[in-house]
Each structure stands twice: as structure tokens, then as C-alpha cells.
Amino acid sequence: MGDELTSLLPLLFFFVLMFGAMYFFTIRPQRKRQKEQEALLLALKKGSKVVTSGGIYGAVESIDDTTVVLKTESGALIKVSKISVVGRQA
């Protein structure tokens, strides 16, 4: 019985090590990006200069629960999904 446990110990250690690596290289960074995105969306206000996931730059004209109206450089107003806002303009 003791020999079986001894032979399974390296395998168990390997699985724990792989789970730890997966957590630090995939799950943890994804959660960090998600928290940053949530903070960005909560900080949006009229006049904020943002960029969307489609590459559209604009200033926030109005904000709803699920949508944002952006004013582009040409003066056009476009309505986009709030979650498509991915960053602030530099």
C-alpha cells in the first residue's frame, strides 16, 4: 500500500504544479483585466475621451446603462455598446 502512494506522489505534485501555473498565467491576468475594464466603465462621464474595441475615437456625450453616445472628431454622434469602450485616449 505504501509503494502505491509513493508512486502517485510525483503525479499529484505535477498536477498541483500545472494548476498553479495555469492560475498565474491565465486566470489571474484575466481577472485583473476584467477589474480594470469595470473600473474604466464606472469612471466614464460626459466629456471623457475614449476609444472603442472597433478603433473609434470619441468623446462621451451621454451614458446609459448599456449604451454610450460618442461624439467623433467630425462631430458625428454614434451610439455604441458600453462594453465596447476599451480605453481612454492618450
Task: Determine the structural domain holding residue 69 and report its residue range.
Answer: 45-90
pLDDT band at residue 18 under the 50/70/90 scheme: very high
Least confident window among 8-12, 35-39, 48-52, 69-73: 8-12
What does the DSSP assignment read for 5-39? HHHHHHHHHHHHHHHHHHIIIIIHHHHHHHHHHHH
Residue 54 and residue 34 share a domain: no
Q: The whole model's pTM is what?
A: 0.70
Number of domains, the chain: 2
38 and 63 housed in the same domain: no
Checking 25-34 for CB contacts under 8 A at 24+ apart, the result is: none
Coil/strand/helix, residue 2: helix
